[in-house]
Amino acid sequence: MKKILLGALLIGMNMIFIQESKAQLYLDAKQPVEKRVKDLMKRMTLEEKVAQMSQFVGLEHMKKAEKEMTVEEMKKSHATGFYPDLHSSEVEEMTKKGMIGSFLHVVTYEEANYLQSLALQSRLKIPVLIGIDAIHGNGLYHGATIYPTPIGQASTFDESLVEKASRETAIEMRAAGMHWTFTPNVEVARDARWGRVGETFGEDPYLVGKMGAATVRGFQTKDFTGCDKVIACAKHFIAGSQPINGINGAPADVSDRTIWEVFMPPFKDCLDAGAFTFMMAHNELNGVPCHGSKHLMTDVLRKQWKFNGFVVSDWMDVERMHDYHRIVPTVNEAYQLSVAAGLDMHMHGPGFAESIVAAVKAKKLSAKRIDQAVAKILEAKFKLGLFENPYINEDKVAEKIFTPEHQQTALEMARKSIVLLKNDNQLLPLDKSKKQKIFVTGPNADNQTILGDWALRQPEANTTTIIQGLRKVAPEAEFEFYPFNWNLRKMKPEQVEEAKKQAERCDLAIVVVGENSMRYYWNDKTCGENSDRYDISLYGLQQELVEALHATGIPVVVVLVNGRPLSTEWIADNIPAVIEAWEPGSLGGRAVAEIIFGDVNPEGKLPITIPRHAGQIQTYYNYKFTSKWFKYATGKSTPLYEFGYGLSYTTFDISPIRLSATEMKLNERIKASVEVTNTGDVAGSEVVQLYVRDLYSSVVRPVKELKAYQKVYLKPGEKKTMTFEITEKELMFYNINMQYVAEPGDFQLMIGNSSGDKDLQKVVFKLL
């Protein structure tokens, strides 16, 4: 009955909406967006304008938090919130009056429709913009397709696949009533202790920018106008991925050179791809909170880069300029400082709107600054078609979510994201026809840790765990399974001993270890948002479990399910086969099994360097020579696995580099070619990577920088020529005067299948 009444209400309100559109230009869909925005803003009071800049958490989220959280817990949380002096029923009334412009943490289409029905009772009938963290699929929605987390997406080195998955995510979001995704996270991850590494595309600015831009294109296409697209959000601006101690939101203290050479380029790539929103970073940058930085929001974004969208804050970070960063004595001053600096929308909660209205009336903020912000927010709502189509057809939702096509994309991405790290004596792939008893165990073998962070619990039928995948892919094989609880903190020595005893009766063991990013077990997770570590080894008794299985004398395959690089040096030295699965998503268990049994040839490459120990942090491939001038006095100084590295079940040969010329002038280009040959017995794909080093320059440059890559598929014995063009662009950097130039001189060109020197062909050419 409730659904019927709501349906009748929606139909009635739509009729009124259509009638009024004839009288009010902004409600006329035939009018240009610019005219509609201008007409609507003429009709708005100051209070209604500032309301558009105000975002709140969803009603159902709020109601749940009201029951379960204290005020102090809410202040400390980055994921759950309510408003101690504002009940959810009062938020409903505010929405009816047009005093809220946006919501987040709305995870059902029923609530999305209800919120829109409230908003359309307001004087001007402005729909609300609903944002959500759809980081790798719309994972906070129950039943969505969950793709591999971004670190796995980057491992594919396949931008078209990333764009396709993002396009499908946009379709699923709109089907569920959501319009705005808080992704891509294009921070360049340079500290494996930081829990959000898995939410990024890795350590290289070029690769991160390519993947981020592909994500933006997938969500927005060329223009996000329409009812099947969503707004992308480039975040977090900027440098939060290099916190001074690995902790999320900790200060970033880095030079302007590092900011512009490492952290800025991916954001500019996203902007060039059309990203309509930017989100500021939690951290302070060189002593200035990003949320109060006029330099970042206005001077760089709007003036230098000509950004034409709007900027949103992150979770309660404006308030933190008062109580955490302590750069202003009151919250009101924090609100005013942030908006004056260039912030357009506040996430989340009461107090902001009242403060900004009062500041404008007191002439502490200009009305023009408010109009600039509101115009862009309204532009988004018009382009998304929310004024014409604010509601979701609830009967059509199931047709667009977790579809066979989307599942296939998720499976393909999982297959291509998995990295084979070690395969001594060709232990893998396993032979399905060979009769052997296979022991499977580990805390990540049979649960939803494979979904990663930013995914709530999904239907069991939608998720293929690793043990399920093994049984599906090799139904004739004999598996013996010993289950561990998902909670790494509760592993017991007697469980390890029992697993060892069972393994002794088997011919081979597969052990699935790693980390837990499940945000619905917030206090128990070891990876993901706000789960930073000072130690990046296997947590709990996982190392003991692997060593116990190794001690049985049977071959052991280690499968890692994790969102950050883990220092598994003992495993690298002692275990014959190691697979980095990252967090491979809904169909991840099947993809892992297909690789283990050879149905799929692994092709993933590491988008981030894996250190041997937390003491090697920071470690990345594009280092300065003197950072490795001396070796550590104890232990090895080389990384455990290098950026760009990944094995295959076949082998590839890359010929010496042929240059079209050994000298080039500015505005000219040369071509560099190599022949790639599949020298093995299995068809496979290789990622051919091109690196450049400026041999002598006015400032110190990295030993190598990724400038291009191409992926090639080859049958056994097949050979193809891969050609790269080198232009002035690939040689440019910020010189001693911070001018972006290419300096004449010698450059070393390197082409190979990883960043490791042993895997690279090298040649020198001259820029005249």
Which amino acid appears at position 258 of this protein? Answer: T
Helix H or strand E segment including 478 = strand 478-483
Distance from chain centroid for Cα 565:
15
DSSP track, 633-667: SSS--S-SB-TT--B-SS-EEEPPPEES-SEE-TT
CA distance 224 to 273: 12
The pair of three-digit structure tokens given for residue 153, joined into one six-digit string: 């997406």
Find residue 512's DSSP bridge partners: 559
3-state secondary structure of 762: strand
CA distance 342 to 376: 12
Question: What is the dihedral sign for C-alpha 389, 394, 398, 399?
Answer: negative
497-526: b or e for each residue (b if 16 or more CB lie within 10 Å)?
A: eebbebbeebebbbbbbbbbbbbeeeeebb
Contacts of 90 (CB under 8 A, 6+ apart): none
Query: Cα(first)–Cα(last) distance of the chain, in Å?
Result: 78
Nearest to 740 by CA among 118, 257, 380: 257
CA distance 635 to 332: 53
Contacts of 468 (CB under 8 A, 6+ apart): 446, 589, 590
DSSP track, 238-294: TTTTS-TTS-TT--B---HHHIIIIIHHHHHHHHHTT--EEEE-SSEETTEEGGG-H
CB atoms closer than 10 angstroms to residue 615: 11
Cα atoms in the Cβ-side hemisphere of radius 13 Å centred on 386: 32
**Strand-strand pairing, 129-132 and 180-181:** parallel
CB 212 within 8 A of CB 369: no
The question of whether 314 is a catalytic residue gets the answer yes
The pair of three-digit structure tokens given for residue 163, joined into one six-digit string: 């764009």
| Residues counted in the chain | 768
CA distance 418 to 422: 12
CB 533 within 8 A of CB 566: no
DSSP at 302? I
DSSP at 610? B
CB 712 within 8 A of CB 688: yes
Which candidate in 158, 204, 314, 453 is catalytic? Answer: 314
Helix H or strand E segment including 318 = helix 317-323
CA distance 476 to 473: 9
In Å, what is the CA distance from 284 to each residue of 236, 311, 499?
Answer: 12, 17, 47
CA distance 115 to 88: 12
Find residue 131's DSSP bridge partners: 104, 180
The pair of three-digit structure tokens given for residue 384, joined into one six-digit string: 């998304």
DSSP track, 334-356: HHHHHHHHT--BEES-TTHHHHH
* Residues labelled as active-site residues: 314
